[in-house]
Chain A
């Protein structure tokens, strides 16, 4: 490995060849401010267009300043990171961005979480010397994402996520010069595009240009309506991240406090999407076993591999890009929708409330869940199974609005019956979790024997594409896992070409799975946060007494009292769905 010697602010530093000036500087504790640059370590995600020009530094011997994020360190380089010329250039650049920015910070959805705001503060900008035109683009509202493109600073992070990581290709720079902006082709609306609403663009946007559709107002109205019974379900990944919004360290599990907060907000019942995740495992696991045994009995028409269908962005992705594969994914609805369906039938009957008067709110780490709940097939006579899907961030806003001191809340338990869950359901929140949960149940049903071990380390991790073979008592089951739609695309292309080796594949749209969802607290490019959330999820699983979905007593009861058996006709009607060709 060739090593490079250089000096940064007169301090000598030795780095590997190929290291950028930015990285070399940070290795000796010199922080060069950046704005457009973003890197998620270990996930192969990097955005460095060298566009914002905030990270410029002085390189001795060069006439112009060089962007530290994309300038490679070379032998003998002498870098100065804060000469008067550099500081003035940085300030001018940020002033220019602000001169073309609607300065509505006080009421901006991103206020307090905005990297541009932080940068302006960091550089002490108190006046914008250069005034002039401001971009005037229209707002674009979709079921999940709002684009307020006047706030776009052309950092291109969303473009990197949408094109390089997700390979969806909706967002890219259009127009030239001052009018250049990131938008769908021909400035069409997001809901006319092939956008999957995965929300990774929102997750990385440094400003308020891309935000979620805010449904907190509607939820508050429902909560204050005495004629409505309002129940809430919380997705597994939420509890591993919500604490961050209240200043708790990343990876703090706040399940009990979250339940307490929701109860104080006035929800009549606080339930858990994890309950529905256990239900999903029974339906999806049974479907997998049915297909597997049919396949082993020589049925040529059986479709394998089976693909998970919990992730609504992934569902929309294959409906657009791989419609010919639409009979391969499991027909099981996602946990959110299973919950809504059961809540508005089984549970509504139980508490004797009419469907119209029961409001189901879900708390999700996800933006696509907003879209999913609005899909027409998930409603009965115009009444949706899930009325509102809030993000983790929106829940934090609600808690703040409710004057609730989150950190000092006691730990409380979910309500019965839809609040009970097993460890298998909790790990739905991270990549590999759904398939691990499915393996735990499918193994026992298939072999009729208890699992020799519960933790399947071979299915865990952060690699974008993983595979493992699980021994089902002599029958090897090949399992594939992808997170990030770009990785999913590779597996799907293999299936299309007919050389997929897998029996079952788990696909999650977001890097890291739901813990890295578009509705989670902003990670601002720090991949370490995602890993801590993942660890928190696994620790919750380990601390559960019941860790296999089919052992959930309330699930057993639900089948006994209401559904009959997995894949029964009633289960089909309420818990399964079909997919559409959207190409």
Chain B
């Protein structure tokens, strides 16, 4: 296997977790302020895709004066093309559990939940075993922290944090109006820290080795490493831990099949990057990098020249049409009419200019939809229609 020079493989996440007991007992002997400072100086950003600074998230919740608080691990991994959280939970569950308990120590929470994607029911027995072992140790060191698994039921939207809370409260999984944010009003209306599985795995690394080790990886504004779920037209699909900030061209050099036409970065709600933009696109969070910088939950789907981008978009829109919660107009009706629209253009029932109207619709959805789902439909829609317009028409 050849390794690109620009593409820096890292191996933190799946590395031995056997010292979790040590990391846990050492971490909880430190003050919440120290731990928060450690996280803030690592510049770790949420690995679910949105990239909110993790240290700040913990800090905000720790400042809330409420007796009951919660720590929730978002394991509702549903973005098409990501499958990393599943691996973390099956291979290094103790890293996640440890980080949840440390978070509980920091913000003052005694209860943690893992919201597990419905389709990941097969992880439950092993994870439960790990939890009992973990709780046994917590008892030994007099740490009052309980973790329970909450099984999702298969709705994509429940990965959205406030819809996740609604789902846990036994209600229909629908995003809430924000603000208030989870840090002050989360699960059961209590201050809640909700982190992606991978984010928690990284905080373990940070508490174990210190912030500097993590900070030294990556580039400015995009520090550390990240797991990438590589799929599509690639000779080596799988999960890879890479430093952030790489250029998409280097990524394709490594993972492409020599005929890569485009890469969908960030799953169905992410952006499609055509070949001509590979060089100017970097993978990381928004910052002052050269060219475009795309955040991602880690889904990288490669498409080669045999793929019809119309079919790709059609597939995404079908997905959104089904998975929208249906609550707000722009998303509920918008996704459907975008889907009907591209089909009508393809069949010749509408002229090509109709695509421009649809682009405007997608843009309106972006700034009127209630939650991230409806707001992000425009990402893939606009990037695909813009770059592969003729494939939409002919």
A residues at B contact (CB < 8 Å): 49-53, 56, 63-65, 67, 70-72, 85, 88-89, 92-93, 96-97, 99-100, 129-133, 153-154, 172-173, 175-181
CA distance A83 to B339 in the complex (A): 29
Give every chain A residue within 8 A of B324 (Cβ-Cβ). Answer: 176-178, 180
Task: For B339, give its contact among A49, A65, A72, A132 (CB under 8 Å).
Answer: A132
Interchain CB contact under 8 A, A50 and B337: no
The A-contacting residues of B in range 354-393, CB under 8 angstroms, are: 357-358, 360-361, 364, 366-370, 375
Interface residue B155 (Cβ < 8 Å from any Cβ of A) = yes
Interchain CB contact under 8 A, B157 and A178: no
Q: Given the interface contacts A130-B341, A133-B340, A178-B336, does A89 sit within 8 Å of B323 by beta carbon? A: no
CA distance A96 to B335 in the complex (A): 10
Q: Which of B246-254, B262-270, B274-282, B325-333 contacts A (4 or more CB under 8 A)?
A: B325-333
Give every chain B residue within 8 A of A175 (Cβ-Cβ). Answer: 326
For A101, give the chain B residue with the smallest CB separation. Answer: B333
Interchain CB contact under 8 A, A93 and B368: yes
Interface residue B320 (Cβ < 8 Å from any Cβ of A) = yes
Give every chain A residue within 8 A of B30 (Cβ-Cβ). Answer: none
Interchain CB contact under 8 A, B329 and A180: no
Give every chain B residue within 8 A of A179 (Cβ-Cβ). Answer: 326
* Min CB–CB distance A32 → chain B (angstroms): 14
CA distance A50 to B174 in the complex (A): 11
Task: For A177, give its contact among B326, B341, B357, B366 (CB under 8 Å).
Answer: B326
CA distance A51 to B326 in the complex (A): 9
Interchain CB contact under 8 A, B321 and A177: yes
The A-contacting residues of B in range 163-190, CB under 8 angstroms, are: 172, 174, 177, 179
Task: For A64, give its contact among B323, B341, B367 (CB under 8 Å).
Answer: B367
Q: Given the interface contacts A53-B330, A53-B370, A93-B330, does A180 sit within 8 Å of B325 by beta carbon? A: yes
Task: For A130, give its contact among B155, B337, B369 (CB under 8 Å).
Answer: B337
* Min CB–CB distance B144 → chain A (angstroms): 35
Interchain CB contact under 8 A, A178 and B333: yes
Majority SS of interface residues in chain B? Answer: helix
Q: Given the interface contacts A63-B367, A64-B366, A133-B340, does A177 sit within 8 Å of B329 by beta carbon? A: no
Interchain CB contact under 8 A, A65 and B332: no
Sort A-B residue pairs by CB-CB distance and give the 7 closest, nearest first. Answer: A180-B326, A132-B340, A132-B337, A96-B333, A178-B336, A177-B324, A130-B337
Most buried by B among A49, A97, A175: A49
Task: For B322, give its contact among A72, A93, A177 (CB under 8 Å).
Answer: A177
Give every chain B residue within 8 A of A63 (Cβ-Cβ). Answer: 367
Task: For A70, give its contact among B177, B323, B327 (CB under 8 Å).
Answer: B177
CA distance A93 to B361 in the complex (A): 9
Interface residue B32 (Cβ < 8 Å from any Cβ of A) = no
CA distance A180 to B321 in the complex (A): 10
Interchain CB contact under 8 A, B329 and A97: yes
Q: Given the interface contacts A100-B336, A130-B337, A178-B336, does A51 sit within 8 Å of B370 by beta carbon? A: yes
Interface residue B297 (Cβ < 8 Å from any Cβ of A) = no
Q: Given the interface contacts A131-B340, A132-B339, A133-B340, does A176 sit within 8 Å of B326 by beta carbon? A: yes
Interchain CB contact under 8 A, B361 and A172: no
The A-contacting residues of B in range 279-329, CB under 8 angstroms, are: 320-329
* Min CB–CB distance B275 → chain A (angstroms): 29
Interchain CB contact under 8 A, B328 and A65: no
Q: Given the interface contacts A63-B367, A88-B364, does A130 sit within 8 Å of B321 by beta carbon? A: no
Q: Given the interface contacts A51-B327, A132-B337, does A180 sit within 8 Å of B364 by beta carbon? A: no
For B324, give the chain A residue with the smallest CB separation. Answer: A177
Most buried by B among A72, A175, A176: A176
* Min CB–CB distance B170 → chain A (angstroms): 12
* Min CB–CB distance A120 → chain B (angstroms): 13
For B322, give the chain A residue with the smallest CB separation. Answer: A177
The A-contacting residues of B in range 122-148, CB under 8 angstroms, are: none
Interchain CB contact under 8 A, A52 and B326: no
* Min CB–CB distance B322 → chain A (angstroms): 5
For A156, give the chain B residue with the smallest CB separation. Answer: B327
Interchain CB contact under 8 A, B361 and A177: no
Interface residue B334 (Cβ < 8 Å from any Cβ of A) = yes
Give every chain A residue within 8 A of B177 (Cβ-Cβ). Answer: 50, 67, 70-71
Give every chain B residue within 8 A of A51 (Cβ-Cβ). Answer: 327-329, 370
Give every chain A residue within 8 A of B337 (Cβ-Cβ). Answer: 96, 99, 130-133
Most buried by B among A52, A53, A89, A180: A53
New contact pairs (6) apart from A92-B330, A130-B361, CB-CB < 8 Å: A92-B364, A96-B333, A96-B334, A96-B361, A97-B329, A153-B329
CA distance A209 to B155 in the complex (A): 27
Give every chain B residue within 8 A of A173 (Cβ-Cβ). Answer: 172, 174, 326-327
CA distance A99 to B177 in the complex (A): 25
Give every chain A residue within 8 A of B334 (Cβ-Cβ). Answer: 96, 130
* Min CB–CB distance A39 → chain B (angstroms): 15
Give every chain A residue within 8 A of B366 (Cβ-Cβ). Answer: 64
Q: Given the interface contacts A67-B177, A88-B364, A132-B341, does A178 sit within 8 Å of B332 by beta carbon? A: yes
CA distance A137 to B52 in the complex (A): 41
CA distance A132 to B326 in the complex (A): 16
Give every chain B residue within 8 A of A71 (Cβ-Cβ). Answer: 177
Most buried by B among A63, A72, A89, A172: A89
For A130, give the chain B residue with the smallest CB separation. Answer: B337
CA distance A96 to B360 in the complex (A): 13
Q: Given the interface contacts A64-B375, A175-B326, A177-B320, does A99 sit within 8 Å of B333 by beta carbon? A: yes
* Min CB–CB distance B319 → chain A (angstroms): 9
CA distance A129 to B333 in the complex (A): 13
* Min CB–CB distance A414 → chain B (angstroms): 49
Give every chain A residue within 8 A of B369 (Cβ-Cβ). Answer: 53
Task: For A56, give its contact among B326, B340, B368, B375 (CB under 8 Å).
Answer: B368
* Min CB–CB distance B161 → chain A (angstroms): 16
CA distance A102 to B179 in the complex (A): 35
Interchain CB contact under 8 A, B375 and A178: no
CA distance A376 to B329 in the complex (A): 43
Give every chain B residue within 8 A of A132 (Cβ-Cβ). Answer: 336-337, 339-341, 344
CA distance A70 to B180 in the complex (A): 11
Q: List 8 A-B contacts (CB under 8 A).
A: A53-B370, A131-B340, A132-B341, A133-B336, A176-B326, A178-B321, A180-B326, A181-B326
Interchain CB contact under 8 A, B330 and A176: no
* Min CB–CB distance A92 → chain B (angstroms): 5
* Min CB–CB distance B295 → chain A (angstroms): 15
Most buried by B among A49, A100, A177, A180: A177
Q: Given the interface contacts A96-B337, A173-B172, does A53 sit within 8 Å of B368 by beta carbon? A: yes
CA distance A575 to B103 in the complex (A): 68
